A = this chain, B = another copy of it.
Amino acid sequence: MKKVPHRIYLSEEQMPKQWYNLRADMKEQPDPMLNPATMKPIEEADLYPIFCRELAHQEMDAQTRYVDIPEEVQEFYKMYRPSPLIRAYNLERALGTPARIYYKFEGNNTSGSHKLNSAVAQAYYAKQEGLEGLTTETGAGQWGTALAEACSFFHLPLTVYMVKVSYEQKPFRKAVIETFDGKVIPSPSNTTEAGRRILAENPNTGGSLGCAISEAVEKAVTTPGHRYVLGSVLNQVLLHQSIIGLESKAAMELVDEYPDVIIGCAGGGSNLGGLIAPFMQDKLLGKANPRIVAVEPASCPSLTRGRYAYDFCDTGRITPLARMYTLGCGFMPSANHAGGLRYHGMSPILSKLYHDGYMEAVSVEQSKVFEAAVQFAKEETILPAPESAHAIRAAIDEALKCKESGEAKTILFGLTGTGYFDMTAYNAYLSGQMIDYIPSDEELQKGFDQLPNVPEAR
């Protein structure tokens, strides 16, 4: 085998020119989204008030296997991509494992994460259609930053509803979004019906992604020339994020490697769905059979403890219904510091694949996640985002299993971003103040009790 360099970069010529649409190779499709008023499947045109047309089309298109990446988006990608595929030589040595650990690092841009991959696509299509502005929500702030970057580049006004707990924990995230001319509103807010309703019920809530989504959607559909964009969960987002997996696979091929295990953190599924896409294709087509592992926080365990059921994508119950693993759209996760993973549901595509046995899921406790984050930072010179550190935790555990068994497995994980805006959480961990929260069965049951009544799916 060739000597593998620490960092493997594709050349510009080797960069993917098309995204890959996982649905085209799924034998069974995810259940269709439903209109909650009629309980009838949503059609593309039903989405036009929410999404711009091209994105509505991508959301519904399960047939087109490869979608051309627009030239302008390719050009933008070239500013920060290809992202490096990194061989974690120093982490391997520190663990004393025979495993070969690779990670795809998506943090080398100002948004600090992979979110920019979809943000630029969504901003581009919105600009193409002549829209006057976009609204969105952000949890950890990575998506908001990414979209602000993209909107600023294409000169599109942007309003960001930021989950209140993140808004308070991360004042500098807000400042970055504002640097890119984004307008930031802590959610829940009194700028929307949905926000006012949630505040009335629970004035001290720290908010949630689901609630911020309600506000952003409401604002978009009630403001002329505006549409809503979302950084995760959606099929279109997984399509755009397939660039992560396509680059990873191409880079591994350059060094004659193929992963035995692929590990990604899972909040709404944008990173995981993107990272695994071409490997899952191999699996669906019977060409290879890598293990695929989703890692979620024990405080918000949608895959490992949720129901596979129809649910609203937002807390305000105004979006279409999607069949997915969910804790119930009323579930309010504790103030876990990995804000990007505090979502009650999971990408319908990933939910279906998990339901059908194509992937595994594990949940990990916050303090164990930060332990892995600090170890990783010291060995690999990258300070990881708490979200990403969920994948690190699982990758380290996998590598330690290899140490016991003596197996030289090839492990690939997604390092979605950096933790420069998460120092409050690191501080809490380092000072021993971090609390691990695991919801009780009773607490989860409350969320399930509020699931909408779609009998065939419960």
List the interface of chain A (C-beta within 8 A of B): 5-7, 9, 11-12, 75-76, 78-80, 86, 89-90, 108-112, 116, 149, 152-153, 171-172, 175-176, 178-181, 374, 377-383, 418, 420-421, 423-424, 426-427, 430
Contacts and interface: CB of A to CB of B under 8 A. Distances in A.
Q: Is the interface of A mostly helix, strand, loop or mixed?
A: helix
A337 to B, nearest CB: 13
A420 B175 contact: no
Contact of A78 (B7, B108, B427): B7
A90 B12 CA distance: 16
A153 B12 contact: no
A430 B179 CA distance: 7
A111 B152 CA distance: 27
Contact of A9 (B9, B90, B152, B179): B9
A2 to B, nearest CB: 12
B430 A175 contact: yes
Contact of A381 (B89, B149, B418): B149
A381 B109 contact: yes
A116 B76 CA distance: 29
A78 B5 contact: yes
A381 B116 contact: yes
A423 B78 contact: no
A172 B377 contact: no
A141 B171 CA distance: 19
Copies per assembly: 2
A423 B7 contact: no
Contacts of A6: 12, 78-79
A404 B76 CA distance: 28
Given A79-B90, A172-B172, A179 B420 contact: no
Contacts of A7: 12, 78-79
Contacts of A424: 172, 175
A350 to B, nearest CB: 28
A43 to B, nearest CB: 36
A306 B420 CA distance: 36
A109 B179 contact: no
A287 to B, nearest CB: 30
Contacts of A9: 9
A374 to B, nearest CB: 6
Given A7-B12, A179-B430, 17 more contacts: A5-B12, A6-B12, A6-B78, A7-B78, A9-B9, A79-B380, A109-B382, A110-B377, A110-B382, A110-B418, A149-B381, A175-B426, A176-B426, A178-B430, A179-B426, A418-B420, A420-B420
A75 B89 CA distance: 10
A383 B78 contact: no
Centre residue among A11, A153, A420, A421 by max chain B CB count within 10 A: A420
A430 B178 CA distance: 8
A172 B423 contact: yes
A291 to B, nearest CB: 27
Contacts of A111: 381
Contacts of A420: 112, 172, 176, 418, 420-421
Contacts of A90: 79, 153
A11 B175 CA distance: 36
A86 B418 CA distance: 21
Nearest to A112: B420
